Structure 1
């Protein structure tokens, strides 16, 4: 099959959704399919990221209208292909199967943001209300409604799409993201730690409110002050170490390591010596870095939001805590750093869980759904022609 993957970002292998798109495309190629990409990299370079976000659906529609090579599958991230779906000759038999793939439903992110606004921790500008909280959500909903198939990362997003956005349940499917082969089968040491041993906690991802820094940082600050054997690392913050350090008491800053950027292939090395992965996100489609850390033998502590609760079985392969709750994070960390046997047990189980999330398995699943969608589309087309 000829498959076009679209994403409204630059194709950077070291970032979440774009990296997932590239990994999926590589697996498709291994299976013998032809893969094409359309992303911000195809738009004029002089445009800002915000402008590219707004105009991307229209540039994609133009690109698709000019294609000389027939495409079998258009697998587009949410909001990308809504305009093309409306203006194209959709009923033609040679029309590609249109798939809308969510990397985390924007409506879920929006509701988490509004809750922060209500508490006064965030401010909603008129620009946000007009675009991200308005037109963008309309685009996403229309891209879901106009698709032949809808792929979502978790069951909460699926139920929201069906119940609140009137998406037909029969065309929705749970299709998760995965981790690369370099993260599978890694060896790690989980010998029980004696009480005074050093404990290292890591948080991976952007240092932004949606990732829960307003709740995770106070918890970590408290833990560092109480337990001198604990160290904390922040990886991939996208900001300077000084910005992170200013949120911690001066007395503990020497035990807070900050690495603003890293290459994904170096993550296993960076995670060596860490035992606990903290993910205090307020919304999360799945949590790729969560799976990657689990594959490196770290016990996850994550908020009980849509994505992480698909992966973590509380008390078996990690700990789930309520979002917006610093005290719950403190208690979860204390539970692990004071019980080395329990920490080892969860680390072993987390590692085993992560081995089930290979991109190869996910690619095979997606291809099966593509084929089923194409067969159904052909059947409907034949039926319509017969009736006319």
Structure 2
């Protein structure tokens, strides 16, 4: 199914069509040349879509996981809770194996698991209905979270500023607005006229294919640059702030994001440019002490050697190192922007304060 919408805000990354038991996603591997919606029915199709980055971005992965496990649970034939829950846990383990680094995947699956246990005294059919409501709630909350991050992020910006971003943490990575791009979209609504430099983000080119695509559709002033051009635009004085998303934040403030992010942070530090990580609290893992404890996924070498080329561009037998993420040390991060405020160093303390606000304790 194709779509020719011209308004980026009309693009829903993840949708549920409960009547047909399908999850509908934009196939982000085909953007920007084609806007194709995939209709996923089986757990294998949903697993493959997450693994192959057809749906990607930490919040969007969380929403996809919630809808995906709901559809799996909906198909379980068991009538008794114990048998149902055994099958549910099997589904949870299977979907959790699709992406080892994105904490939102596990967060959403755990939240759906807690929903099942919370209503274990109900009938299986009632539990399935509660799972549907919980999945919808996860998506609705994500839109609020992103808008809130955008509002907090905008307090750090002034009109006409130059912003650099890496990978894609925008509308396509979330339910709406994005995380790193949320301050830009909120600023667009308020006439800030921000100028964005989007790193292409090798090797999967999320910046070139996705960030440039959606910002351009939204009418934002965006300039695409190769990853190794970031230093040049910073040195030229064209960048006054760096905003990136993340897949996991450790308790000490170390942050895992798309490969190349740590290099951008080091450059920003050198040029005295503030570097901000936009992180929903669902991506903050206080049980993870530091970046050393974050599992980094290594992906298929073909993404580097031949995926985007008409002919293979590297020697046939050359070794390839292709980590999906790197870890930015907390010392390079100016602030972590959440839906409950902006955390500053020392992060071991400020992130705990953010969660106190979330629980309504302050």
Q: Structure 2 length as normaliser, TM-score?
A: 0.33
The structure whose residues are more often helix, as a share, is 1
